[in-house]
Structure formats: structure tokens, C-alpha cells
Amino acid sequence: MSLVKNVEFLRHFPKLNAFSGLAGHGRSAGPSPLVEINEFGPNPGALRMFSFVPEHLSPAPALVVVLHGCGQTAAGYDLGTGWSTLATRYGFALLMPEQQASNNGNTCFNWFNPEDISRDGGEAGSIRQMIARMVGDHNIDSRRIYVTGLSAGGAMTSVMLATYPEVFAGGAVIAGLPFGIASNVREALSGMMQSPSRPAIELGDLVRNASTHKGPWPKLSVWHGSADRTVNPANADEIVKQWLDLHGLPHEPMSSGEVDGHPRDVWWNADGETIVESYTITDMAHGTPLGISGNDEPYGAEGAFLIEAGISSSYHIANFFGLTERIRAPKVEQKTAPKTPAKAPTGVARERAIAMTVPVPAPEPDLATVLWPRAKPQDASRRRGIDVGSVITRALTAAGLMK
């Protein structure tokens, strides 16, 4: 779409005011366990790479790629969702790519930009390079790589699953969109606000045409708040429809029930393994659902687009990925100098000796910046730089189309 048409399109909406206060809430409130890695190979999308590797990794460790939402940082999203806490408890590694304001004025992943969502190009290509670095550095089991994200990060999760299906065993999309439904501003807004229904085979073909992969396809978990007015909840149905078509599964759920008070639909394969699941978080707005109260093992902390809902999406997603078997820290041998044999103690001395042998248990935007690319410096690796009014503002902000 040309610049003239973009501007003309936006003139049909009421004046859009800047959405203030979003980016600051995505910042970490304290020291982060994430470590930045500066060298990871080609970086066509000009993203930053952060990782977390716990002290005790499980044998053949898994890797979870976590993609933040608009206005958030890798560290802030980790703090809010508790992924590094889960990684420590269950012994898997984390990769948390981070968007830069020079790429997108509202630090959203560019899920609708054709140059960023094609295989081996743009932001998708950068994330793939980061994964390769993690696999090489930490002996990651290549059969246990997963990806999840919120909002624009959720839409980018769809991108990664579609463009690199052979890399991922599974994914989880939170308040995101299907792959391939937008390639410009108009289509992005339409998908977010209206989510037009498409035939299942058309949605499936969008993924099939993104690579030469012929299957098997990754499994998928989908999460969306029923009161989301930023990304239409109908997008969850379209994502599910897209992946049911890829897996050759029926449209009707094979099982329906509730988890922590919220509806969950399930589809499984011929072996009885859950392949697609969909959570509808009742009355929740746009964000990642947290279970930080009334829970024996809380994860995360509330913040902007990090919402207490009585259910920890991070934990349930990790469980869906098969990562929630607790690891045990290796025993440390206590070496002592050899002693001269002595007589066995008796009486009080014997009782004290016995007590000492009992083991002690271990403690548990500027709108113009977003709508068209900025000129590329010669040495840079990057090219670029519903009350109707409020809903459009939220939509544009979440899409990365304005500050």
C-alpha cells in the first residue's frame, strides 16, 4: 500500500492521540536474570538477544522462545510472566528476543511486514539465528524447542511456527493472530478489530505455502480473553481453525471442560496426544493471564497487559510443552581426609554420632515512523528505521502502528 493510500485510509478515523504510559510498564522493576548475547550470527531483523540458562539444566534440555508484547521488554515480560522462575524449577533454557524502537516505534514485533515474516529474512530470520546459537551453546535437544508470545509477540509466534515448522515441537499464542492474514496496515487493522472469518483450507494454505515443510506440524495452545477489545477474540478461533486444518482434525472439539474456572477445548491425534487446545479466559481484557493469588505455586507479577485471572498461562503452557517434571539438583560429595580407625562410640557419644549422620533436606508511535520505513544507513543491518477513537488507538498501538 502506498504512503498516500495509508494516510488517506487513516483520515477516515477520528484524531488519534498518543497512547501514553504503555512502554514504561514493560520495564523490569529490579535486576533481571536475563543475559544479553551480542554475537549470534546474521541479524537481518536487528533484534536484541537475551537468554536465561538455570544452574541445573535437565538432561537433553528444552528451549522455550518467549516473545514480548508491544511496549514491553524481554526483562519486563519475564518478570511479569515468571518464565525464568519456571525455567529454574524445571530445568529448561529460555531465549527472549527483544524488539528495538528503531525497528518499530512502539517496540512491537513486525508481524504484518512481509520482509520480517519470510523464512530466513527480517525478524523471523534473526530469531532463527538466536535459536541456533542457544542449541550450540547449551546442547539443547532439537526435538524440544518451543515458542510462545503475547499480542504482537503472539502473532510473531504464529510467524515462527509457520516459517520454521521443522524447528518447533510446539507453540502457544496469547491474544495473537493467525499467520499470513496481513501484509500491510489496512489488513493488520482489519484482522485485529474485525477478524474476518476465512475458510479453514485457506488459512492452512497460508502456513503450508510459507515453507517446503510437509509435516508433522507443531502442536499448539491458544489463549485469549473474552473481553479483549484490542485484538478481537475471534482471532483465537481463526488460529485454531488454521492449525486444525494443518493437522487434519475436525472443527468440533473432541473434549470441552474448565481449567481453573475457564473454558478449554481440546483436540488430540490418533495416539491420544493433545495436539491443539484453546483457552477462553472469561471476562479478561487484552493481556497474558496470570495466576498469582490463591495458587500454591504463583508465577509472575501484575502489570500492563499482565492480568491476574486465577490461572497461570505460563505454567499451563510449560505443562502443555511437557516441561513440568521437576528436576533435582545433583548431590555434592563431601570429601574428608582419612581418619585413624577408632573404637565405636557408646552411650551419649553414640547418640550424637547417629544424629550427625541424618541428612538435612535441601531447600526447595510516532505514526509516521511506523507506517513507512526510514532510510537505511549504508553500514546498518536494518532497512527501517469500541468507543471508536479509543479502540482504534489501542489497536494501532498494539499493532505497532503508532505510539
Q: How far apart are CA 239 and CA 356, in angstroms?
A: 59
pTM tops 0.75, yes or no: yes
Taking residue 237's Cβ as centre, other Cβ atoms within 10 Å add up to 18
Nearest Cα to Cα of residue 276 among 244, 245, 248: 244
Q: How far apart are CA 241 and CA 244, in angstroms?
A: 5
Q: Of residues 32, 51, 126, 151, which has the active-site annotation?
A: 151
**Prior bond to 216 cis, omega within 30?**
yes
> Following CA atoms 64, 70, 74, 77 in sequence, which dihedral angle do they give, to the nearest 10 degrees?
-80
Q: How far apart are CA 278 and CA 265, in angstroms?
A: 5
Known catalytic residue at 190: no
Residue 396, pLDDT score: 58
Q: How far apart are CA 69 and CA 275, in angstroms?
A: 25
Taking residue 185's Cβ as centre, other Cβ atoms within 10 Å add up to 21
Contact partners, residue 22, CB within 8 Å, separation at least 6: 70, 71, 106, 304, 397
Whether residue 277 contacts residue 271, with contact meaning beta carbons closer than 8 Å, is answered with: no
Give the DSSP per-residue string, 156-208. HHHHHHHH-TTT-SEEEEES---TTS-SSHHHHHHHHHT-----HHHHHHHHH
User: In the chain, count of helices (H) and strands (E)?
Assistant: 12, 12
Cell of 219: 502442536
Burial class, 21, CB count within 10 angstroms (exposed 0-12 / middle 13-18 / buried 19+): exposed
| Torsional sign, CA 108, 109, 113, 116 | positive
Residue 295, pLDDT score: 53
Mean pLDDT per block of 10 residues along the chain (403 residues) reads 39 30 42 95 98 96 98 97 96 98 96 96 98 98 98 98 98 98 92 95 98 95 98 98 98 97 97 97 98 71 93 96 77 45 42 35 32 33 43 56 54
| Torsional sign, CA 115, 117, 123, 125 | negative
